[in-house]
Amino acid sequence: MILKVPLRLVKNIVGCFFLVLLLFALYMRYDYDNWYRSSGDRALARMNFSIATTARTARKDATLIMLARNEELEGVLSSMRQLESSWNNKYHYPWIFFNNEPFTDEFKARTQEETNSECRYELIPKEHWDVPEWIDSELLETSMRRMKSQRIKYSARLGYHQMCRWNSGFFYRHPALEDYRYYWRVEPNVKFFCNLDYDPFQFLADNNKTYGFTINVYDDPLSITTLWPETMTFLDAHPNYLSADNSMSWLTDRTLRPEHTEAANGYSTCHFWSNFEIADMTFWRSPQYQEYFEHLDRAGGFFYERWGDAPVHSVALGLFEDNSRIHWFRDIGYQHPPFINCPDTPNCNSCQANIFTHSWSVINEDCRVNWFKQMCESRRKHSTNNNLTSEEEEICRQLYSIS
One pLDDT digit (tens) per residue for the chain, 403 residues: 455 556 665 455 556 655 555 444 444 443 444 433 333 454 455 444 545 555 556 678 999 999 999 999 999 999 999 999 999 999 999 999 999 999 999 999 999 999 999 999 999 999 999 999 999 999 999 999 999 999 999 999 999 999 999 999 999 999 999 999 999 999 999 999 999 999 999 999 999 999 999 999 999 999 999 999 999 999 999 999 999 999 999 999 999 899 999 999 999 999 999 999 999 999 999 999 999 999 999 999 999 999 999 999 999 999 999 999 999 998 998 988 888 888 888 888 777 777 776 666 667 788 888 888 888 887 777 665 557 777 777 777 776 554 4
Q: Does residue 10 lie within any of the structural domains?
A: no
Q: Please list, in sequence order, all residues whose beta carbon lies within 8 angstroms of the beta carbon of residue 341, skipping any fewer than 6 positions away.
A: 214, 215, 329, 330, 332, 333, 334, 335
Range of the domain at 361: 62-400
Q: Does residue 168 lie within any of the structural domains?
A: yes
User: What is the value of pTM for the model shown?
Assistant: 0.85
Q: Does residue 380 lie within any of the structural domains?
A: yes
Q: Does residue 14 lie within any of the structural domains?
A: no
Q: Does residue 26 lie within any of the structural domains?
A: no
- Count of domains observed in the chain: 1
Distances (CA, A) of 128 to 46, 328, 394: 45, 30, 43
Active site residue 277: yes
Q: Does residue 21 lie within any of the structural domains?
A: no
Distance separating alpha carbons of residues 89 and 391, to the nearest angstrom: 26
Distances (CA, A) of 211 to 22, 35, 139, 221, 329: 44, 29, 35, 24, 10
Output the domain CATH number for residue 199: 3.90.550.10
Q: Please provide residue 335's backbone torsions phi and psi, each rounded to the nearest 5 degrees.
A: -140, 125
Q: Does residue 55 lie within any of the structural domains?
A: no
Q: Which of 84, 114, 230, 277 is catalytic?
A: 277
Q: Does residue 225 lie within any of the structural domains?
A: yes
